[in-house]
Structure 1
Amino acid sequence: MNTWNRQRVAKIAIPIAAWLVGIIFVIPILYMVLTSLHAPQDAQTYPPSWGAPLTLDNYGGLFTSANPITPALINSVITSVLSTLLVLALAIPAAYALAIKPVKKWSDAMFFFLSTKMLPMVAGILPIYLFTTQVINMPDNVIILILLYTAMNLPIAVWMMRSFLAEVPPAIIEAASIDGASTLRILTRIVAPISMPGVAATSLICFIFAWNEQLYAKVLTSVAAQTGPVFVNTLIQTEHAYLAELAAGATLISLPVLIAGFAAQDKLVQGLSLGAVK
């Protein structure tokens, strides 16, 4: 087979393979959504009853039951949004210092940031739990989750923002400095708008990590600060499986991340490619 034929086959085979992989990933999601729209007795049949009547009762039950999902969703929004804003407020100046005005041995600092992600989350559960409950006496509090999610996402945010800010043309910053602009003005009026796709990509990733986090939320909360993923976990009972309600809760928890991803997909792709190696 000559080179022209191989290129032609590759142009056909690669898109087909990509579609097949995409379908494999989408099938479980479609099954979850379809199960959430079935009545409990239809959702638990085996094999699945694909042609069963559809209903929204499972979603309504999540909001009208004795233990509604609404407070958990509110807690998830508060912790995810506030922690993401805190991460950006801390990561952008740090990344600016490492990219635009690098310090000596800046690579060591970047490795230190990344090395903090190498510790398994479960290794820090016990000291964090003891500190929260016995030292500062703040159990079941969303403030603790906000601080934890900020610390959890800050290293990856600094690493990402540093690669994005390194793409900002130095000549623009030098011209602004010559005109008398302060560092804060340069950062907010020049650097931030240019690197906005990178900021959007970083904020979206931090939001997803905070929204999906379950280990810390499950250990450190009970009722008042319970988040969405923890609430969905409570739908799994030992007596019997609420499969339809569980699918409805999982679908509902997945919607904000999916909506945010679709809404910012152009910014996400542009931001992730902004820091790519040329």
Structure 2
Amino acid sequence: MTRTRAGAIRIFLAWAACALFAAPLLFVVQASLRSEADAVSGELLAPFTLDQWRLLLDSDATKYLLNSAIASGCSVVLVIALAFPAAYALAVRPVRGAEQLRMFILSTKFLPMVAAILPIFLLVSTAGALDQLWVLVLLYTSMNLPIAIWILCSFLLEVPAEIVEAAQLDGAGLRRILLQVIAPVALPGISATALICVIFSWNEFLFALNLTATSASTAPVFLVGFITNQGLFLARLSAAVLLVSLPVLALGLVAQGKLVRGLSLGAVK
């Protein structure tokens, strides 16, 4: 009886925690299906409507989503292409001073982005590259590269050294070892790292706000447009939040299996 009661209490607490975390999402969903007046008043029995979604889809939201997708996708490809061999050199076949180098790479994340925005803005402005999407790609790559190297190092430390030695005995070169031996074993970790970098890039706001104007603005900048001096368009903002969040949520659901395997692989050490 005691065990049954304790189990019931744990289940209740788990469901209560889930409800607590789901409450903001449910609020946003119901607000996106109301008129502006009903969303502000919080009337629970107000009629549902798709007017906010129609207005949102008739706007230029697609451009902002496409810019976010291009900036995030290209930067993640560059991050993985650079971080994977770097993590191999620091974890599987460590170079001299690898531990100190790993700490230095991680220390580059200690500087807050707001402290670097002014010199970056001046540099980009002097180069005449404001409102250019490739600038965001380079910045997102540099922003995510240190954390990607650090995460991949923890994953590659779990790769058995025997398979690398066996590949070397068979005459495999470094490129073949990386692509055909290490990469398939570490694929869950690579997928988890890529997904984390996508989320960081997709949600980045400071660089996108200060370095873009119209052509290269991303989804987070698009959301700010609903906060004006005339007030907060709560219903339309709720619909926009859901629209911007759906790609990342869908990607997370598709890669859920590899994400769980990757995170658990890096946690063994």
CA pair 100-23 structure 1, distance change in 2 beyond 3 A: same
For the residue of structure 1 that corresponds to 2:228, the secondary structure is coil
Instruction: Trace 1:1-278 onto structure 2 (pairs within 5 A).
Output: 11-45=7-41, 48-65=42-59, 68-134=60-126, 136-278=127-269
Q: Using the alignment, how far apart are the partners of 1:31 and 1:261 within structure 2?
A: 22
| CA offsets 1:232-266 (integer angstroms, 9 cap, x no match) | 10111111221111111111111111111111111
CA pair 174-83 structure 1, distance change in 2 beyond 3 A: same
| CA offsets 1:138-179 (integer angstroms, 9 cap, x no match) | 000111100100011111100110111111111111111111
Q: Using the alignment, how far apart are the partners of 1:18 and 1:115 within structure 2?
A: 37
Read off the aligned partner of 1:63 and give its amino acid letter. L
| CA offsets 1:179-221 (integer angstroms, 9 cap, x no match) | 1111100100111011110011000000000000111100111
For the residue of structure 1 that corresponds to 2:200, the secondary structure is helix
Q: Using the alignment, how far apart are the partners of 1:119 and 1:174 within structure 2?
A: 39
Read off the aligned partner of 2:253 and give its amino acid letter. F
Q: Using the alignment, how far apart are the partners of 1:171 and 1:15 within structure 2?
A: 44
**In the TM superposition, what is the alpha-carbon distance from 1:83 to its structure 2 partner?**
0.6
For the residue of structure 2 that corresponds to 1:275, the secondary structure is helix
Taking structure 1 as the reference length, the TM-score comes to 0.92
Q: Using the alignment, how far apart are the partners of 1:263 and 1:193 within structure 2?
A: 19
Read off the aligned partner of 2:146 and give its amino acid letter. P
Question: After the TM superposition, which parts of structure 1 deviate over 6 Å for at least 4 consecutive aligned residues?
Answer: none
Aligned residues with identical type, % of pairs: 49
Structure 1 unaligned spans of 5+: none
**In the TM superposition, what is the alpha-carbon distance from 1:59 to its structure 2 partner?**
1.7
Q: Using the alignment, how far apart are the partners of 1:19 and 1:150 within structure 2?
A: 39
**In the TM superposition, what is the alpha-carbon distance from 1:75 to its structure 2 partner?**
0.3
Structure 2 unaligned spans of 5+: none
**In the TM superposition, what is the alpha-carbon distance from 1:16 to its structure 2 partner?**
3.2
Read off the aligned partner of 2:30 and give its amino acid letter. L
CA pair 201-9 structure 1, distance change in 2 beyond 3 A: farther
Taking structure 2 as the reference length, the TM-score comes to 0.95
Aligned residues: 269
Read off the aligned partner of 1:250 and give its amino acid letter. V
